[in-house]
Amino acid sequence: MTRKQKITLIRIIVSAALLAAAIVVRRFVSMPWWAELLMFLAPYLTVGYDVLKKAFLNVIHGQIFDENFLMCIATIGAFAIKEYPEAAFVMLFYQVGELFQSIAVGRSRKSIAGLMNIRPDHANVLRNGEELVVSPDGVEPGEEIIIRSGERVPLDGVVLEGSTSLNMAALTGESAPRDVNVGENVISGSVNLSGLIRVRTTGVYADSTVSKVLELVERSAERKSRQENFITKFAKWYTPAVVVSAVLLALIPPLLFHGSWTEWLERALIFLVVSCPCALVISVPLSFFCGMGGASKKGVLVKGSNYLDALSKVGAVVFDKTGTLTRGSFEVTAVHTRCMSRAELLDIAAMAESYSNHPIAESIVRAHGGHIDKSRIGEVKELAGLGIEAEIDGRRVLAGNRRLMHERGLTPVCRFGCGETDEGTCVHIAADGEYLGHIIISDEVKASSPRAIAKLRQAGIRTVMLTGDSEYAANEVGKQLGLDEVHSGLLPNDKVELVEKMLETKGRRTLAFVGDGINDAPVLSRADVGIAMGALGSDAAIEAADIVIADDDPEKVFTAFRTAKRTMRIVKENIVFALAVKLIVLVLGAFGIANMWIAVFADVGVAVIAVLNAIRAMKVRS
Amino acid sequence: MKKTFQLEDLDCANCALKMENAIKKLEGVTDASVSFIMQKMTVEAEDGADFDALMKKVVKLCRKVEPDCRIIL
């Protein structure tokens, strides 16, 4: 409890004691009305003086319809109709509720802050052979820093010396530590678990992974969901509407229908107490925030509550194949050629692909293994969705898919009976219009992909896979995973077109696209919900995506979906519960059935329950 | 230009909403958001605006809406 909360608690206890004493005294001693009034004013003022003060100040500042003001009118009204104990009790009850609410909100604030406690507070930088402790944003790129065991990695960098294991749970939700050695990258925000490492920083703090993640999470409150906007609009109309009804309720029956002034005034006061929209105004954004906080603990970063709303209504999830459902780590499994040795073909292919960072190109360079003489390579052109055209030893070399060969009037043939594409991706090589042979590369399906697809399908979601790969390779993966739909042989702009077509015909449910973020940026931004995977460190993906999955586990897509569903359910529960209770109490109050107690419960009691319910959204099962 | 400020003793969600709406209406402010949960305020002003003078207005405005709440500048 904070100091303010403790003081409130003491005031509540003192006031409760005074009130109990006053009730006992009144029962046994008869006294004039002013003595009674004074006796009940003591507990009332003890617990409620700050409410009166705030109400007074707010009225001076022109803020009429606020909670404090309404509570004051209601309780002063109760004094006016000589309901002294009731007036004091209502104020006491209100303050107890406010205290509960403040504690509950404080708790959830603290646990959310705990989830985001990944901000590094210092860096040990080596300057002129001396070790200095500085703030992370005071370190330049290329400087050397020392990270000891137990310390948080302050900046992104490359290990120069030492090896250790890192806990990346705060970033990826993955609890198994990751081992790093010399030459490998370390990501800021992770925690060094065992040994001392020296690291060369690769960028400034503002561009580091941890800053990006923190900025993303902190800014998420700015993108508001439909529900939050609804509450904002609702609150604008609701309070004045209830206050006007209260005035009408107090005036019309006594004036027109000879009702008793005291009775209708009391009913009007009940209206005023119920009129505060706090339960909604607090609990709805809090539910979203807890949902996003819980998801970030599992390595799912959501950019705004509107995306949780959209994801909860998802009808189809479209996956990119390579790097998303499959590992994207390709291995050369066969080299088929007739007119030259395998090593020679691999040599040509490796040279052609040596400037590309496509995973397939990298696998060929890796398979080649040896030194690549770059002086033999001339102009290199990357042909999107087709392959590469390169000048090697003065010959025009083509390395790419079947379509590229057909476009250049070549017919791939295989005298080894592999059918060219039978085992996976096939890179055909040709030089100066002569077909040389092909290299077969296979990609492995991620271990958790089948589970991810099965769970999504079980939830009634259509699963679709898009790939630039050959039909055969795509269908193999499709069968293995049990996907509903597979589209293969797509160029990057085909993917955009296809997703756009699906968006037109999707109906009321939304469409999510999951990609690894490297070349999917246009599709990621086009889909209702763009999910980038394994995207830590890739700025373009973080920029384009609505939801970022920190590691590369496709099952997290389902985690994100379930969190979204659960959060939305809690939000709806809170809206319906708060509105229903308030409406019922308003109706009961108008008919004289509800008393002031029930009215105060409908205000603060409901707010406390809604806040406690909102906190549930933070628990996310993996 | 956009700046974020920490808030202290922001106890009422409805007040946060009122503060946000009031700041948005200030001249020179392009956007504002007050997060009750994070206890943070983000103010976005037109380029070239006198931010310090603007923040003085913001502080005054917030004191009107919620006297308890303090903006840490």
- Domains of chain A, by residue range, sit at 123-218, 301-326+445-564, 331-442
Which pTM was predicted?
A: 0.72
State CA A15 to chain mean position distance: 44
- Mind telling me how many Å the CA of A58 is from chain B's nearest CA? 7
CB atoms within 10 A of CB A484: 15
Higher pLDDT, A70 or A389: A389
| pLDDT for position A399 | 85
| pLDDT for position A74 | 79
CB-based contacts of A138: which residues, under 8 Å, 6+ apart? A123, A125
CB-based contacts of B44: which residues, under 8 Å, 6+ apart? B1, B2, B29, B30, B31, B32
State CA A386 to chain mean position distance: 36
| pLDDT for position A417 | 57
Q: Which of B14, B39, B65 sits opposite A278 (nearest CB)?
A: B14
CATH fold group of domain A331-442: Calcium-transporting ATPase, cytoplasmic domain N (3.40.1110)
- Residue A320 designated active-site: yes
- Name which of B12, B43, B62, B70 to mutate to probe chain A: the one with the most chain A Cβ atoms within 10 A of its Cβ: B12
Distance CA A312, CA A572 (A): 12
User: CB-side exposure of B38: number of CA atoms within 13 Å?
Assistant: 24
Q: Which of B15, B37, B67 sits opposite A286 (nearest CB)?
A: B37
pLDDT in tens, A240-296: 788 888 888 888 888 888 778 878 888 888 887 777 777 787 788 888 888 888 888
pLDDT in tens, A462-497: 999 998 777 777 888 888 899 999 998 887 778 888
Distance CA B35, CA A289 (A): 10
- Mind telling me how many Å the CA of A221 is from chain B's nearest CA? 7
CB A211 within 8 A of CB A147: no
Question: In which element (H, E) is residue A171 found?
Answer: helix A169-172
- The answer to whether A337 faces chain B, any CB pair under 8 Å, is no
Q: Which two tokens stand for residue B5?
A: 């400020």
| pLDDT for position A175 | 67
Averaged pLDDT score across all residues of chain A: 83
Could B13 and A67 be called an inter-chain contact, meaning their C-beta atoms sit closer than 8 Å?
A: no
Nearest CA in chain B to A615: B37
Contacts of A109 in chain B (CB under 8 A): 37-39
Lowest mean pLDDT among A147-151, A597-601, B57-61: A597-601
Query: How many distinct helices (H) and strands (E) make up chain A?
Result: 21, 22
| Residue A146 scores a pLDDT above 60 | yes
CB A75 within 8 A of CB A44: yes
Distance CA A414, CA A19 (A): 96
| Closest by Cα among A497, A465, A466 to A484 | A465
pLDDT in tens, A121-141: 889 998 888 888 988 888 888
% of chain A with per-residue pLDDT over 90:
15
Question: In which element (H, E) is residue B61 found?
Answer: helix B51-65
Distance CA A237, CA A246 (A): 14
Contacts of B9 in chain A (CB under 8 A): 4
Could A232 and B14 be called an inter-chain contact, meaning their C-beta atoms sit closer than 8 Å?
A: no
Residue-wise burial string across A230-264, b where 16 or more C-beta atoms lie within 10 A, e elsewhere: ebbebbeebbeebbebbeebbeebbeeeebeeeeb
Q: Which two tokens stand for residue A395?
A: 């010959």
Strands A529-533 and A547-549: parallel
Distance CA A356, CA A345 (A): 18
| pLDDT for position A532 | 87
| pLDDT for position A316 | 93
| pLDDT for position A518 | 62
- The answer to whether A459 faces chain B, any CB pair under 8 Å, is no
Higher pLDDT, A605 or A538: A605
pLDDT in tens, A72-104: 887 888 888 787 888 888 888 888 878 877 787
Could B12 and A62 be called an inter-chain contact, meaning their C-beta atoms sit closer than 8 Å?
A: no
Give the pLDDT band of residue A17 (cuts 50, 70, 90): very high
Contacts of B15 in chain A (CB under 8 A): 66
Q: What angle do CA A546, A549, A555 make, to 5 degrees?
A: 120
Q: Which of A61, A102, A218 sits opposite B38 (nearest CB)?
A: A218
Distance CA A523, CA A541 (A): 11
| pLDDT for position A465 | 93
| Residue A30 scores a pLDDT above 60 | yes
pLDDT in tens, A420-450: 444 457 888 888 878 888 888 877 788 899 9
Distance CA B41, CA B51 (A): 14
CB A478 within 8 A of CB A499: no
Distance CA A105, CA A99 (A): 10
Name A300's bridge partners: A549
Could A57 and B18 be called an inter-chain contact, meaning their C-beta atoms sit closer than 8 Å?
A: no
% of chain A with per-residue pLDDT over 70:
93
Contacts of A276 in chain B (CB under 8 A): 14
Stretch A346-373: mean pLDDT: 81
| Class at the top of the CATH hierarchy for domain B2-72 | alpha beta
- Mind telling me how many Å the CA of A56 is from chain B's nearest CA? 11
Stretch A358-377: mean pLDDT: 80
| pLDDT for position A422 | 45
Distance, first Cα to last Cα, chain B: 16
CB A436 within 8 A of CB A458: no
pLDDT in tens, A298-310: 888 888 888 999 9
User: Does domain A301-326+445-564 bear CATH number 3.40.50.1000?
Assistant: yes
Q: Which of A58, A67, A112 sits opposite B37 (nearest CB)?
A: A112
| Closest by Cα among A19, A176, A212 to A553 | A176
| ipTM of this predicted structure | 0.72
| Residue A311 scores a pLDDT above 50 | yes
CB A101 within 8 A of CB A612: no
Contacts of A608 in chain B (CB under 8 A): none
| pLDDT for position A292 | 85
Contacts of B39 in chain A (CB under 8 A): 109
CB A533 within 8 A of CB A560: no
CB-based contacts of A6: which residues, under 8 Å, 6+ apart? none
Q: Which two tokens stand for residue A305?
A: 């509550």
Q: Which two tokens stand for residue A548?
A: 């970022």
Hunting for tokens 């109760």 — which residue is that?
Answer: A78
Q: Is B51 exposed, middle or buried (0-12, 13-18, 19+ CB in 10 A)?
A: middle
SS (H, E, C) A331-390: EEEEEEECCCCHHHHHHHHHHHHCCCCCHHHHHHHHHHCCCCCHHHEEEEEEECCCEEEE
CB atoms within 10 A of CB A544: 21
Give the pLDDT band of residue A517 (cuts 50, 70, 90): low
Residue-wise burial string across A148-180, b where 16 or more C-beta atoms lie within 10 A, e elsewhere: eeebbbbbbbebeebebbbbbbbbbbbeebbeb
Hunting for tokens 């496509």 — which residue is that?
Answer: A358
Lowest mean pLDDT among A55-69, A254-268, A461-475, B14-28: A55-69
| Residues comprising chain B, all counted | 73
Q: Which two tokens stand for residue A468?
A: 């630039």
Give the pLDDT band of residue A563 (cuts 50, 70, 90): very high
CB A171 within 8 A of CB A118: yes
Q: Which CATH number fits domain A123-218: 1.10.1510.10, 2.30.42.10, 1.10.540.10, 2.70.150.10?
A: 2.70.150.10
Q: Which of A4, A63, A102 sits opposite B65 (nearest CB)?
A: A63
Distance, first Cα to last Cα, chain A: 32
| Residue A224 scores a pLDDT above 80 | no
